[in-house]
Amino acid sequence: MYNPKPEIYSTLNALGYYCRQGAQAVFSEGQVPAITFRIDENSIDQLDHDIDIASQTVIVIVDIFADDSVTTSRILGEVEEAMRGIHYRMSYSSDIPAPAEALCHTNARFVITR
């Protein structure tokens, strides 16, 4: 079974922003812009009458936090390109409404079936 976390962390961390696995939405000084991610689904399909893995589907949720929405949108483009480079397809993205004085937040979903 493929373990997606190390490859995803390495890919996102290489973009040069604060990066961590999890949904942390409170950041310390100097940690914004930030990218967080979590594995939303990691499922396998087996061949009939066999114990071998036929395919594995991984869904990754990526959250981007910054001081303004222009920055989160720019970083989303960088994240999409980096994730495409490791064969993930962006299936969804959204600007998350935030109250005044809160960080801007963009959320995206990436999918791979291997």
pTM of the model as a whole:
0.90
Beta bridge partners of 18: 34
Structural domains of the chain, count? 1
Nearby residues of 53 by Cβ (< 8 Å), 6 or more positions away: 1, 44, 45, 46
3-class secondary-structure state, position 81 = helix
CATH number for the domain that contains residue 77? 3.30.2000.10
Q: What confidence tens digit (pLDDT) does each residue in 56-104 have?
A: 899 999 999 999 999 999 999 999 999 999 999 999 999 998 888 889 9
Spatial strand order of the sheet with 53-66 comes to: 18-21, 34-46, 53-66, 104-113, 89-96
The parent domain of residue 30 ranges over 5-113
